[in-house]
């Protein structure tokens, strides 16, 4: 892959743990409403609310908190006690403060790649929260650029890879979301490296583009430098 | 001001109406809680919540909605009925859909300036919402760049004016917030043009830097081209 000059990295669940914090918050949410609904039913209703609300709220923790409150009122037929709503607000704020824990090998991999490639974080979600996490990650100095976007479409990648590098044909996107990282980057003309994560938000699922000549799949981020060396 | 090559424009209440929509939502919020608290008291408590929460949520409508819910629970001592919380959620979503109405003279002013200056929108708030408003404004094609930032500090202006132009010394910031537009841009070394707006959020207040040699004040955006011509 000698043609690659620029590498984009998704952040949540590619560089650091994220979904696990949402799942813990969802468990807390289910506990709070245990008298009113089963956990599976709650999860389903919450996901419906998130799917509906992403059009209004975009991605991120604040919209997730608002969707939890809406779901709590719905599943209790308007009987959710105020203390439950307060607890949901507190859980949302807690989520906004969660510690940032990078995956093993992330810093070393970025340091290995840095001399030879332009490295860019490309992430969606709440602007304020993503900036907080990047600052807390301890790896922000390893990136040439940070792009926090409202959504990840093929023209998002085309724009960013043209801005930081020589366009999508000379760029590679690394991420855990087939829907947001892999497919739109391929559509833009870039290479894509899929690193599956055991926890992935239902709204990020999509089919693997198996057989696509610019699609690769690895188990950990530490395999990326080797992939770049051996795929000439 | 021949040295000026780049002009930054705040968006909310500089290019289009914004605060008026928040005030209408606050009135709706006060109606919903009329049985529990006086409007003045509610406004004060809501502002306290916003001030506290801006550290967690940043700026924007989603954080404002979460602060309204928190305040509703607080002022009712936990007795806020679920239907009130639902109405607050609906009011927040309504706010996220409000029509975008530019001020008189905005489009003409930008068209006058465009041939001679690089024009950049510099705004804070929810990424997703600010993008929506810009797309709905009908004036997005007049800008060379759009910067949606989590906060407006002097280094924000230094970075943006260096990226789009020749640095702050050759740039001017136009806005209605002394705290976010005028003072930090002056601190960065840029010129600042204050256009007061009758409705300004309490958290944006600051003292006018009267007498500062790079500070100007006009009544409407339509006066900006004349100001640039006559202040050589």
Cα end-to-end span (Å), chain A:
4
Length in residues, chain A: 232
CA distance to partner chain B, nearest, from residue A71 (Å):
10
Rg over CA atoms, chain B: 19
| Two structure tokens written together for B169 | 């010394």
Query: What is the pLDDT confidence band of residue B232, given thresholds at 50, 70 and 90?
Result: low
Q: How far apart are CA A153 and CA B95, in angstroms?
A: 26
Mean of the per-residue pLDDT values for chain B? 94
Give tens-digit pLDDT for B126-153. Answer: 888 999 999 999 999 999 999 999 999 9
Name the residue among A151, A143, A221 with its Cα closest to residue A179: A151
In chain B, where the domains are located: 6-16+100-230, 19-95
For residues B125 and B12, the answer to whether their CB atoms sit within 8 Å is yes
Angle at A31 between CA A26 and CA A37, to 5 degrees: 95
Chain A interface, best mutation among B50, B81, B83, B127, by max A CB count within 10 A: B127
Which pLDDT score is estimated for B45? 95
- Nearest by CB: B78 against A82, A92, A97: A82
For residues B188 and B159, the answer to whether their CB atoms sit within 8 Å is no
CATH T-level fold of B19-95: DNA polymerase; domain 1 (1.10.150)
Q: How far apart are CA B29 and CA B40, in angstroms?
A: 12
Tokens 């024009």 map to which residue?
A: B119
List chain B residues with CB under 8 Å of A70: 86, 89
- Cβ partners under 8 Å of residue B90, min gap 6: none
For residues B126 and B61, the answer to whether their CB atoms sit within 8 Å is yes
Give tens-digit pLDDT for A22-78. Answer: 999 999 999 999 999 999 999 999 999 999 999 899 889 999 999 999 999 999 999
For residues B69 and A69, the answer to whether their CB atoms sit within 8 Å is yes
Instruction: Give me the residues of A, 102-131, that contact B with CB < 8 A.
Output: 126-129, 131
Domains A6-17+100-230 and A19-95 share a fold: no
Tell whether A94 lies on the interface with B, counting CB pairs under 8 A: no
Give me the interface pTM, i.e. the ipTM.
0.88
Which pLDDT score is estimated for A205? 83
For B151, nearest residue in chain A (alpha carbons): A128
| CATH number of the domain located at residue range(s) A6-17+100-230 in this protein | 3.40.50.1000
Name the residue among A151, A187, A20, A65 with its Cα closest to residue B68: A65
Tell whether A62 lies on the interface with B, counting CB pairs under 8 A: yes
- Nearest by CB: B150 against A73, A131, A149: A131
Query: What is the pLDDT confidence band of residue B34, given thresholds at 50, 70 and 90?
Result: very high
Which pLDDT score is estimated for B2? 64
Which pLDDT score is estimated for A232? 56
Task: Evaluate whether the domain defined by B6-16+100-230 bears CATH number 3.90.1150.10.
Answer: no
Which pLDDT score is estimated for A170? 96
Q: How far apart are CA B35 and CA A34, in angstroms?
A: 31
């Amino acid at each position: 892959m000698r043609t690659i000059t620029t590498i984009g990295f998704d952040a949540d669940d590619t560089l650091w743990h994220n979904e696990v914090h949402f799942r813990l918050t969802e468990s807390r949410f289910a506990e709070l409403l245990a008298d009113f609904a089963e956990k599976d039913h709650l999860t389903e209703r919450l996901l419906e609310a998130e799917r509906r609300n992403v059009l209004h709220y975009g991605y991120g923790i604040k919209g997730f908190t608002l969707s939890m409150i809406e779901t709590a009122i719905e599943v209790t037929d308007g009987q959710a006690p105020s203390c439950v709503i307060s607890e949901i607000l507190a859980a949302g704020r807690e989520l906004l403060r969660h510690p940032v824990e990078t995956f093993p090998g992330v810093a070393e991999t970025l340091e290995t790649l840095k001399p030879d490639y332009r490295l860019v974080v490309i992430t969606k979600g709440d602007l304020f929260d993503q900036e907080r996490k990047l600052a807390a990650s301890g790896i922000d100095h390893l990136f040439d650029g940070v792009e926090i976007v409202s959504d990840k479409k093929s023209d998002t990648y085309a724009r960013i890879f043209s801005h930081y590098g020589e366009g999508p044909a000379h760029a590679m996107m690394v991420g855990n979301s087939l829907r947001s990282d892999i497919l739109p980057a391929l559509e833009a003309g870039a290479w894509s490296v899929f690193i599956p994560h055991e926890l992935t938000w239902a709204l990020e699922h999509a089919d693997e583009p198996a057989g696509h000549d610019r699609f690769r799949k690895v188990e950990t981020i530490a395999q990326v430098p080797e992939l770049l060396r051996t795929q000439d």
